[in-house]
Structure 1
Amino acid sequence: MSTAHYDSNGNVAVIRLDNPPVNGLSLELRQGIVEGIKKAEQDDAIEAIVITGSDRAFSGGADITEFGTPKVMQEPILTTAIHYVETAKKPVIAAISGNCMGGGLELALGCHYRVSTPDAQMALPEVKLGILPGAGGTQRLPRVIGVEHALNMIVSGTPVPAKQFQGTPLLDEVVDGDLMEAALAFARKVVADKMPLKKVRDLKVKHPNPEGFFMFARNTIGAMAKNYPAPLKCLEAVEASVKKPFDEGMKVERDGIKQLMQTPESAALRHAFFAERKTSKISDVPSDTPTRDINKVGVIGAGTMGTGISINFLNAGIPVTIVEMKQEGLDRGVEAVRKVYEGQVKKGRMTEEKAKAKMDLLTPSLSYDDLKDVDLVIEAVFEEMGVKEQVFTKLDEICKPGAILASNTSTLDVNKIAGFTKRPEDVIGLHFFSPANIMKLLEVIRGDKTAKDVLATAMKLAKTIRKTAVVSGVCDGFIGNRMINQYSREALTMLEEGASVQQIDKAIEKFGFAMGPLRMADLAGGDIGWAIRKRLYAENPGMKKNLIADRLCEMGRFGQKTGAGFYKYEPGNRKALHDPEVDKVVDECRAEMGITPRKISNDEIVKRCVYALVNEGARILEEGIAQRASDIDMVYLTGYGFPVFRGGPMHYAEQVGLANVVRDMEAFDANPNTQKGFWEPADLLAKRAAEGKGFDQ
């Protein structure tokens, strides 16, 4: 149970916030703060009050476990607690270390004085949830660090180390030694010197040219924010701190947060925030499941994926042995890793010493024998089952007992791969996304025999290398690629029916995707999609073929890597250019298929592509491949460029209304060019639509 511990140290009362892990400002904690202030005021022996947290966090802000519950608005709400602190009859000093964010920073700003360690991290990150600081942050922060710095912090939500505020009214002291000792000494100094009870609200906000600054800031933020309303609302509130009295500015802040809480963008961002935290929860794997130690990692394959995977572990300080078959390929891979670190040094993001230290953790090898002592080995070889069989047969012979054997396969059967070994319980899929050292998503593929401690270890390791891990069961393409196959097929179907390459991509990009489906195919490599299609055609003889895409591949047009795909590309330039040759191929294929092209609206393009994702996602949920709809959303938000302000395909469908999605699908099913059954709603989708519920209800 969270609480605020009250104690005294001579003439100073100490209120210590205690709600692990980040001292979220729960109802109990808010009550404890108010009760502590009252108790100190009533004790004649107490002359000052110190509020502190833990080494890890003064307070990380609101308690997320209370979101969506009555406790959020139960008194004392945070503004009430801050009012008690600010109006206390005895000086209140905030002793800050660790994270001081959101409501935690607002609480500190309500104190009369603030003492901090230099490395404490301060932020008002509410904008990342599509809202703005709601307990005076937009009004008090400009008063202590200036309008421009405050606006930057509030609009970006980026943490800033406390040492940068030394010398500003935000901090009265920055201490390198024992924080509590310094805070107590400062409190006694305040009492001895009869220092005033300073209120941040009483400070004046000054700017030499507020009209010009806010006009410039509004244009800049408006251009950058686009689909996100919160940054401009933050600006309005900060502007009010300059132009209005404090209490009127607080009203602008309150009105702003009320309006933002009702926006679909905020709902989507809050959904994504909670969805990311749910991904680590696995229904049948307790949180206290013992994990295996991963002190050394092996990577097989020094190509683009293998080197990217290696960098993740090097960044985390974990030694990597990377294995290739030929010296030339090995040298090329090591050089690729080196170039990444050299680039970090040139950009000033890493010192040469640190870059060298990372490279020293990398051991290149031409022999599997050098993997005898690794705790985890990840293969990143050609996506063909015969090749995987050779690799895992060798690993089974060479790797020590208890070593985890992982495949980076993006589509293949992990159960079959596990069957190539005598230890299927140690086999798991770790599907990284390219570029593997940058992309945040990691699909963790749980085989039928994967041990629970192996799964728990993979999820823990994902946090170590700063990935968002989503568990998937075994199926063709797992969560992400299985769904994207349907999305891509529908885009190609509309290309056959009359939409142009450019129209399809522009419609999807206007919806908010980072890249349209055909540009994405060119980036990934047309040969990859072609290989998957040919395998699926063989496995499903009645499957409708994507004639246009296949024809382009038959011509050797594999996208950016060959300088031509759905678009053409000039040497050294990734810009996708219109190619009349593609128009010719499209016209020829339409004629062969007997299709008379028709006009297709951008709205239809978006719905058919996105609802294809939704329907396949519903099937994935039905089959238990994904644990929850929000996991599917995280796959698409972190791995496939789905617009964050729409919350992921499953959340977006719920916002549209599942009944409306099903109704549109019924209309699409009447299209004579549609493969039979493609638009038949998944049972779960149809059921939830009929019940008026969401996917996870």
Structure 2
Amino acid sequence: MKTDSFQVEVGNDKVAVITMDVPGETMNTLRSEFGEEVRQVLDFINSRSDLQGVVFTSGKPDSFIAGADINMLADCKTAEDVYTLSRDGHKLLNELSRLPLPVVAAIHGPCLGGGLELALACDYRVISNHAKTVLGLPEVQLGILPGGGGTQRLPKLIGIAKSLDMMLTGKQLRAKQAVKLGVADEMVPHTVLLSAAKKWIGKGKRKAVKPKLKGVERLLEATPVGRNVIFDQALKTVMSKTQGNYPAPAKIIECVKASTKDLESGLKLEARHFADLVMSPESAALRSIFFATTEMKKESGAGDVKPEKIERAMVLGGGLMGGGIANVTAIKAKVPVRIKDISHKGISMALGSTWKQLDKKVKRRHMTEAERDKAMAMMTGTTDYQGIKDVDIVVEAVFEDLGLKHQMVKDVEGHCSDSTIFATNTSSLPIGQIAQAAQRPENVIGLHYFSPVEKMPLAEVIAHKSTSAQTIATTVAFAKKQGKTPIVVQDCAGFYVNRILAPYMNEAATLILEGEPIEKLDKALVKFGFPVGPVTLLDEVGIDVGAKISPILEAELGSRFAAPSAFAKLLADDRKGRKNGKGFYQFNSKKKGPKPVDESVYKVLGITPQGRLSDSEMSERCVVHMLNEAVRCLDEGIIASARDGDIGAIFGIGFPPFLGGPFRYIDALGPKRLVEILQGYQAKFGDRFAPSEYLVKMAEEGRHFYD
């Protein structure tokens, strides 16, 4: 039998193979309208008395089921709508699990969210050993929890602690991990997946499963007291990491608690919590990020212009940034890359950094030695310009010196082809100024990465006035291949991310000079939702880097970017942060836990910490600067949309994701309210808090950025 998305075939072995293949989609996703189709499939299975078993598989070449279609959550108007959606799903999966026949899920490719919940309702799970096969329940990343029985079935299968770890982190298991953990029963080559799945039919209907637990874990999960210890510790850890800003983790813990009782009551609680979370502002914000990044994957950054293919790349500079850029070019983009440095030492450091990362994967058995060696062969080094004639893009990552960058442009144009793109990784110098030395300015573009390059997801693609659309489209595509989410921004000092970060950091420095304790200030901004506080960030980035950027921004954009005098005093005392082990915090401390403050820094600054302000006052003073500057960037056309501004702030500097980005946060706060806050501080501290004209206009007209 066949429906639009499902086909059931019964062979001579009397095994019904259900194949899911959603038409017109590259991946299967679960949708509410499938309910009737699944009903027909189950009725067909129940009508056949001759069947020996059922195998559920996918008709897609590289995926099982990638999860539920997130759009159907947006279509729900009330919590009751969501509750009904979840309970309808429970009913169908309960029927699948209660079929009198053994049911086996044959899984190849991503099996995530609702896809794994469907597989958990089967008796057995056989998976392919392919690198694309991953299993997980990542709903927490969207501010929700598994709403198809995952919080109840997974703990019964692998235990409480392991289930909490999977659901609270949203981690995805590779095939070997899934078998080891007990999520899957067998791992086989993709070519024999279906026949291997059919062999499990002979084992009959699966009886109740007891998780395979060892040692302390087994002792803790065996008693109510022990289980409460696990739940209490999980909640404590969650609150420490999220500062209570994300409601989903605590709800997941409550649902897993209920899994120790009967299935039906646990499913009802899961549906209720799922419904409440879907309607929460935190989930709405996180889902907006998902939709935004999905849209951006389809965009070229230059309208209808198609990118040229990048087949060879070169990186100028083998330092921390250059080595990181070479790493993602070779390892993620799989583009051969040549590292040019003035010394063999620089090249060795860049190659050595990637070797260490890959060798660690070999030791953890995440890749073979042959795969490591093949990846390393994609990276080569040189102290001259050999091999540059045929490169399609050169990424420059040398020191922030305009004269040096001008020389790099001339060198590249003198050795490469007329079409080679010159992408500069400058963090502050306007791209137009760098392009002044170019004979082909249309090929010059900014490609600003964030440190550490291998981990930070954002890349700013900066076009100056003469950059061609072709150069923009090709550079955007290149950044995507490197695993980045690129946003196209227009040329100006600081571009977008550093421009909105600078006044935030300056205000933090001002608060310290007013006597606010360093660790208290950092904790206030972490409590607000940033991954680290501003002082910690300055230590990590480099105090000298901050001191270098501020005068450039002040010269280009005005006095509101003037940095407090603190920078000069710190640099005079040779405090650069982590890079020389001397900054605001102690880097050589042997104490456990967070690094303690280097108390001597207060003497250098000539202040005595007193701590008069509340956490909310400190965080507000810093954050409103960022919001105000983001609005200016949108008004000036530095960013193309509020969406790009939100993604840039979240992925570039860790603006709290649960707030959805600066512009969604302004909408939630209300432009009128933000203007009132800024004017209040302006009256007290001066014009650095003056609200932008565009923001004032929006407040007067009652408009929002996402109207």
Q: TM-score, normalised by structure 1?
A: 0.85
Match of 1:632 among 633, 642, 645: 645
Q: Partner residue of 1:129?
A: 142
Is 2:275 the partner of 1:258?
yes
State the SS of the aligned residue for 2:56: strand
Task: Tell me the amino acid that sits aligned with residue 476 of structure 1.
Answer: A
CA offsets 1:432-473 (integer angstroms, 9 cap, x no match): 112223322222223334344433333333333222322222
CA offsets 1:16-49 (integer angstroms, 9 cap, x no match): 2325233111234444333333455557898765
8 Å Cα contact 1:82/1:110 also seen in 2? yes
Closer, same or farther: CA 235–661 of 1 in aligned 2, 3 Å: same
Mapped to 2, the partners of 1:627 and 1:529 lie a distance apart of 26
Match of 1:579 among 599, 605, 608: 599
The Cα of 1:427 is off from its aligned counterpart by 2.6
State the SS of the aligned residue for 1:378: strand
The Cα of 1:644 is off from its aligned counterpart by 3.6
Task: Tell me the amino acid that sits aligned with residue 18 of structure 1.
Answer: V
Q: Structure 2 matches for 1:461-610, cutoff 5 A?
A: 461-539=478-556, 544=562, 546-566=564-584, 570=588, 575=595, 577-580=597-600, 582-583=602-603, 585-587=605-607, 599-610=612-623
CA offsets 1:615-653 (integer angstroms, 9 cap, x no match): 111111222222333333333333323344444333333
Of 277-286 and 322-331, more deviation after overlay is shown by 277-286
Task: Tell me the amino acid that sits aligned with residue 426 of structure 1.
Answer: N
Mapped to 1, the partners of 2:541 and 2:392 lie a distance apart of 31
Task: Tell me the amino acid that sits aligned with residue 106 of structure 2.
Answer: A
Mapped to 2, the partners of 1:560 and 1:158 lie a distance apart of 30
Of 678-687 and 86-95, more deviation after overlay is shown by 86-95
State the SS of the aligned residue for 1:370: coil
Mapped to 2, the partners of 1:521 and 1:308 lie a distance apart of 20
Q: Structure 2 matches for 1:195-214, cutoff 5 A?
A: 195=204, 209-214=222-227
Mapped to 1, the partners of 2:361 and 2:307 lie a distance apart of 33
Match of 1:220 among 223, 227, 233: 233
Mapped to 2, the partners of 1:203 and 1:329 lie a distance apart of 56
The Cα of 1:384 is off from its aligned counterpart by 2.2
Q: Partner residue of 2:630?
A: 617
8 Å Cα contact 2:301/2:476 also seen in 1? no
Mapped to 2, the partners of 1:245 and 1:638 lie a distance apart of 42
Of 348-357 and 479-488, more deviation after overlay is shown by 348-357
Q: Partner residue of 1:594?
A: none
Mapped to 2, the partners of 1:475 and 1:167 lie a distance apart of 52
State the SS of the aligned residue for 2:673: helix
CA offsets 1:476-525 (integer angstroms, 9 cap, x no match): 11111010111122223334444344443332233232332233223322
Is 2:100 the partner of 1:94?
no
Mapped to 2, the partners of 1:333 and 1:176 lie a distance apart of 36
Is 2:389 the partner of 1:383?
no
State the SS of the aligned residue for 1:60: coil
Match of 2:258 among 240, 252, 258: 240
CA offsets 1:369-395 (integer angstroms, 9 cap, x no match): 431121221001121222221111221
Of 399-408 and 646-655, more deviation after overlay is shown by 646-655
Closer, same or farther: CA 599–418 of 1 in aligned 2, 3 Å: same
Q: Partner residue of 2:294?
A: 277
Of 102-111 and 537-546, more deviation after overlay is shown by 537-546
State the SS of the aligned residue for 1:368: coil
Closer, same or farther: CA 460–82 of 1 in aligned 2, 3 Å: farther
Closer, same or farther: CA 203–180 of 1 in aligned 2, 3 Å: closer
8 Å Cα contact 1:626/1:632 also seen in 2? yes
Structure 1 segments unaligned to the other structure (5+ residues): 591-596
Q: Partner residue of 2:9?
A: 8
Closer, same or farther: CA 693–39 of 1 in aligned 2, 3 Å: farther
The Cα of 1:169 is off from its aligned counterpart by 8.5
Mapped to 1, the partners of 2:383 and 2:351 lie a distance apart of 12
- What root-mean-square deviation, in Å, do the aligned CA atoms of Structure 1 and Structure 2 show? 3.7
Q: Partner residue of 1:305?
A: 321
Closer, same or farther: CA 312–217 of 1 in aligned 2, 3 Å: same
Q: Partner residue of 1:139?
A: 152
Closer, same or farther: CA 586–696 of 1 in aligned 2, 3 Å: farther
Mapped to 1, the partners of 2:462 and 2:180 lie a distance apart of 52
Closer, same or farther: CA 375–576 of 1 in aligned 2, 3 Å: farther
Of 371-380 and 598-607, more deviation after overlay is shown by 598-607
Closer, same or farther: CA 286–48 of 1 in aligned 2, 3 Å: farther
Task: Tell me the amino acid that sits aligned with residue 111 of structure 2.
Answer: C
Identity score, percent: 33
CA offsets 1:283-324 (integer angstroms, 9 cap, x no match): 86458x533222221011122221221122232343221112
Is 2:689 the partner of 1:679?
yes
Mapped to 2, the partners of 1:362 and 1:160 lie a distance apart of 29
Q: TM-score, normalised by structure 2?
A: 0.84
State the SS of the aligned residue for 1:670: helix
Q: Structure 2 matches for 1:283-298, cutoff 5 A?
A: 285=302, 290-298=306-314
State the SS of the aligned residue for 1:6: strand
Q: Partner residue of 2:676?
A: 663
